[in-house]
A = this chain, B = another copy of it.
Amino acid sequence: MAASAPISKTIYLGAFAHCLSLTDLEVCSKGAIGVDEEGVIAFVERDVGLEEARKRHEGWGGARVLEVKDGFFFPGFVDTHTHAPQHPNTGLFGKTTLLDWLDQYTFPIESSFSDLTKAHRIYSNFVSRTLANGTTTCAYYATRHVPSTNLLADICLKRGQRALVGRVCMDMLSPEYYRDESIESAVADSKASIEYIRDIDPKGDIVKPIITPRFAPSCTADCLSALGKLAKDTDAHVQTHISENTSEIALVRELFPNSTSYTNVYDTANLLTPKTILAHAVHLSQEERKVIKARQAKISHCPASNTALTSGCCPVRELLDAGLTIGLGTDVSGGFSPSILEEVRQAIWVSRFVAMQSPSAASPNNAAKLSTAEALYLATRGGAAVVGLEDRVGGFEVGMEFDAQMIRLGGVPARGEEGETGFEGAGGPVDVFGWEGWEEKVEKWVYGGDDRNCVGVWVRGRLVHSTGRFEA
């Protein structure tokens, strides 16, 4: 099993890139990253060859060497919000917006996860997809069903993908065929899943449970409070949705007339903790941002979904300036892709739309634009902080664990003869002509790359996905 097979001490040799801070992307053209048998980074050397690196580190002479050719190592992506059971609906949304989309597409597929054979097929395929796209950590919504939620945790553990796996709670405003029967059963089922997941991975190195009230409109105030208490009693992570769409916000106002805001609904239920992930956060007021910051709750920005469902343009720059901790989420199947790299691009597009929404049409608000480096930060270190792993993953530093992807790019033949397309070899959609600098190669990957470029994926130094092309 991927998650438990022993690993050898390995030197990852060649170019690497990672984020040092929100604005600072380091691109090292000649590096050596030493990873020990526990998957922990023992050294990171820059501008050295293999022999020099070995000489500097006693005991590494016999280490296995894995060299990247025509590419670079990059930290694994963190997906801070997605719905595994909705995977078969990817790309199906038409012109719907959030509330009718739930009824038309989402509840029918989720309710079918009482069938474990079906659940196995879909979850296994989706974990394959997220791994293939370089996602080494993923916060998953499952469904209401305990057995299939636990199955998702089993699959993640077996495949070696770090995951937060949440049984979905919903005791109102959901269809009769798909809701928790009572607050007591909602809490008991959530607890059962928490216990199962903690049993299969007691230290929580790979999989952890996460308490998952779907969102305020589908939970009664008492249910939310009971889940807030459960979060405190179990010290578990929490995930939910917030302030995604204006109709949803109006609905929350109507359903919770005593609350001063959407944020206040969760705060009242003690659901805003340092281990809480709030997905979307598109339309938060200044006051709500302050409360979320004070509670140290985290934000999952899901730009593809927000655009596809016409939910709105999340003002990420403002949220960053307000001191909030932000990662990216694919939000399948509101989002239309399992790829965080696609989400990096979508975050950049949304930030440009925010810039173009500036009241002065003649001069876009350029401060709103996210740079490539900033979006990559959100996809790695930002996401790691959202799921509480900022000290363990997200960058290449001594003492951190090696969660990484090997990115390879395609070279274009010197002469472009018919049939010589240049992208069959190393593979993928990115064409490198040979004169590009390393920063430009990273940009080409960000704006043109896909899963074909992600030829190997490691979690804690253990290979969890490979296209077979990384040892060419």
A352 touches B125 (CB 8 A): no
B-contacting residues, A382-414, CB 8 Å: 412-414
- Interface window among A55-63, A210-218, A286-294, A418-426: A418-426
Q: Which residue of B lies closest to A119 (CB)?
A: B416
User: Residue-by-residue, is A434-466 near B (CB-CB < 8 Å gives 1, otherwise 0)?
Assistant: 011000100111111011000000000000000
Q: Which residue of B lies closest to A414 (CB)?
A: B121
Task: Please measure, in the bound complex, the distance between the C-alpha atom of A158 and the C-alpha atom of B420, giving whole angstroms.
Answer: 14
User: Within 8 Å of chain B (Cβ to Cβ): is A256?
Assistant: no
A451 to chain B minimum Cβ distance, whole angstroms, is 7
User: Within 8 Å of chain B (Cβ to Cβ): is A178?
Assistant: no
User: Within 8 Å of chain B (Cβ to Cβ): is A203?
Assistant: no
Task: Please measure, in the bound complex, the distance between the C-alpha atom of A433 and the C-alpha atom of B120, giving whole angstroms.
Answer: 13
User: Within 8 Å of chain B (Cβ to Cβ): is A234?
Assistant: no
Task: Please measure, in the bound complex, the distance between the C-alpha atom of A421 and the C-alpha atom of B457, giving whole angstroms.
Answer: 15
Stoichiometry (number of copies): 2
Query: Given known contacts A125-B412, A356-B312, A416-B120, is B92 in contact with A431 (CB within 8 Å)?
Result: no
A166 to chain B minimum Cβ distance, whole angstroms, is 20
B95 touches A369 (CB 8 A): yes
Complex interface: chain B residues within 8 A of A233 (CB): none
A431 touches B125 (CB 8 A): yes
User: Within 8 Å of chain B (Cβ to Cβ): is A259?
Assistant: no
A88 touches B433 (CB 8 A): yes
User: Within 8 Å of chain B (Cβ to Cβ): is A91?
Assistant: yes
B369 touches A310 (CB 8 A): yes
Task: Please measure, in the bound complex, the distance between the C-alpha atom of A232 and the C-alpha atom of B56, giving whole angstroms.
Answer: 73
User: Within 8 Å of chain B (Cβ to Cβ): is A364?
Assistant: yes
User: Within 8 Å of chain B (Cβ to Cβ): is A268?
Assistant: no
A431 touches B372 (CB 8 A): no
User: Residue-by-residue, is A65-102 near B (CB-CB < 8 Å gives 1, otherwise 0)?
Assistant: 00000000000000000000001101110110100000
CB < 8 Å neighbour of A128 from B129, B159, B416, B433: B416
B125 touches A95 (CB 8 A): no
Nearest 10 interchain pairs by C-beta:
A124-B416, A91-B447, A128-B421, A336-B447, A91-B444, A121-B416, A125-B416, A91-B448, A353-B353, A310-B352
Q: Mind listing 20 A-B residue pairs with CB under 8 Å? A: A87-B431, A88-B431, A88-B433, A88-B435, A91-B444, A91-B445, A117-B415, A120-B416, A121-B415, A122-B412, A122-B416, A124-B415, A124-B418, A129-B421, A246-B361, A308-B352, A337-B448, A353-B353, A429-B450, A429-B451
